[in-house]
Structure 1
Amino acid sequence: MASDLPMSAELEQIDGEITDIFRALQNGFQKLDKIKDPNRQSKQLEELTGKMRECKRLIKEFDRQIKDEESQNPPEVNKQLNEKKQSMIKELNSYVALRKTYQNSLGNKRVELFDMGTGGSDPVAEDNVQMASAMSNQQLVDAGMKKMEETDQAIERSKMVVEQTIEVGAQTAANLKGQTEQMGRIVNELDTIQFSIKKASQLVKEIGRQVATDKCIMAFLFLIVCGVIAIIIVKIVNPHNKDIRDIPGLAPPAPTARRLLSLEAFKGFQ
């Protein structure tokens, strides 16, 4: 597939890779004819299918690069590049049809070209066979572009799902972090409350002991006061009781009055 078309470095690299894959596919199918063991044939066919997948991806990348450089190239160059792309698609579809033929001959339904699932039919391969045999070049291009667009849409949907999953995971992690911090604050507050309760309990005990001591002192003073009052009452009622000692300031004043009367009588006598 060597060409003298003026192409950028990116297009030349992609074109070279596609050319190598087509050469490998050609050699691989030639080798497949010489293999007699069905298991080895099946393995060889799987390897060729993988190369076809890679070739499809490169053709798609080739088409994107053409669109990116379309404004920089002359119309004639763009036309030649599109024709080259169509020839690539047509050649790939011919290998797809050949693969389908070998697959039917082997009765091997495990090989799927475009990851359509195990045990199912291969609608993409069937479409490619139809394109290779009955469609025009433009129809081949349109069908190939349609399949590429469908693949793009599926990839974009997958990316959106992944992004949404990442966002949900990040939000969940943030919520868990906030809840963890809140739990830490609650634990600290509980420790503070427990410490305050212990201090309050100790203070209550100290106040209780102090109140008990004050009550004892008050009771003792009350007993003393009651005793003093009782002594005073007894002394007043029975001042001649010798068993009770005189209380200073509370002794009966009778002797003093008698001394004053004696002095006045003595003075009158004189």
Structure 2
Amino acid sequence: MLLWNRTSQVAIDQCKNNDSAKPVETIADAVAPSDIVWSCLADEEAVLSVYGEICKGDIMGKLFVECSTITASGTETVAQQLKDKGAEFVTMPVFGEPGTASAGNLIVVPAGPAAAVDRIRPYLEGCLAGAVIDFSDEKHGQASLLKIVGNVLIMTAIEQVSELMVFSEKSGLGVNNLRKLFAAMYPGGPIKQHLLYQGHMASGEWARKVPIVTLDAVIGLTDKVAALAESLDVKLPAYEVARQHLRVAKNLSSGNADILSIYGAVRAESGLHFVNSVTTE
């Protein structure tokens, strides 16, 4: 497996504990000898830039699998570029944090020609995916639209958990008792993700580690989601509250906060410190 990253040292570090992986210096070094090329990049601008570079080479017959979170229009642009060069393309946005990915439990949404999706199916369930939402033979952009809808769901869930965390802290109930409620109401169901968010918030680690996805990137994506909703005359009031809290968090954070810094913004608005210490009550 060849691994390329826009920051070379990242690729080198990721290969240290994987004997089957080898870092390469350029995107061309990764693409040229490969039959299947997987990509996951920070934002739409990075995707368009990288695929613009890829399409300068001979990629006839290669299969590209793109997992980044971008708009449907951006996805269709990449799909057309690759088609014009004689390459195959599967869009496959993913849902799940890094720990979920390491455990092979991502939710993946492959879209594109069924034959192309079938080529990567052995790498999905039982390998990197815990669940596959199969969009075979649907337009590539449909998978990206589903990821956008998922972004709204995730953002509003984080907002909801953040508000309940602060309410529980300030009322004296305590966040551990809130966690018991989450676990009891829907065991193994949709509240499981709320438990995950709540645990990360309570630990305080959301503000102390270098984020995988920066607040600027998250805010940039939410701007595009909001613009799409406006163009469709769809109102997303809960999402707008979460977006506002992201902007507050950006102003208050030291630069290390991630999407869970919505919690910090709710804390600050409620008279608490932006960053919590480890919460044990």
Q: TM bucket by the smaller chain?
A: under 0.3
Q: Which has the higher helix share?
A: 1
TM-score by length of 2: 0.26
Q: Which has the higher strand share?
A: 2
TM-score by length of 1: 0.27
